[in-house]
Amino acid sequence: MSHAPFIWGAYLIGAFVLLWCALAPLQRKKSITRDIRRLAQIEESSRDTNT
């Protein structure tokens, strides 16, 4: 039995898990930045309407 698929499988799954773990916070940061930008826009527009 060739060991190659097991070695490949282990490393690929390992890479996938660690890649996901690394990218997840970046995804979160994107959505936070979007929220902050939206909040800032809302505040600016309310300030404009007030003045």
Binding residues (CB under 8 A) for another protein: these are 1, 3-4, 6-7, 9-11, 13-14, 17-18, 20-22, 24-26, 28-29, 32-33, 35-36, 39-40
Considering the complex, what minimum distance in angstroms separates the CB of residue 19 from another protein? 10
Considering the complex, what minimum distance in angstroms separates the CB of residue 26 from another protein? 7
Q: Indicate the SS3 state at residue 3.
A: coil
Considering the complex, what minimum distance in angstroms separates the CB of residue 46 from another protein? 15
Question: Hey, what amino acid is at 49?
Answer: T
Q: What six digits make up the tokens of 34?
A: 């979007």
φ, ψ at 2 (rounded to 5°): -75, 135
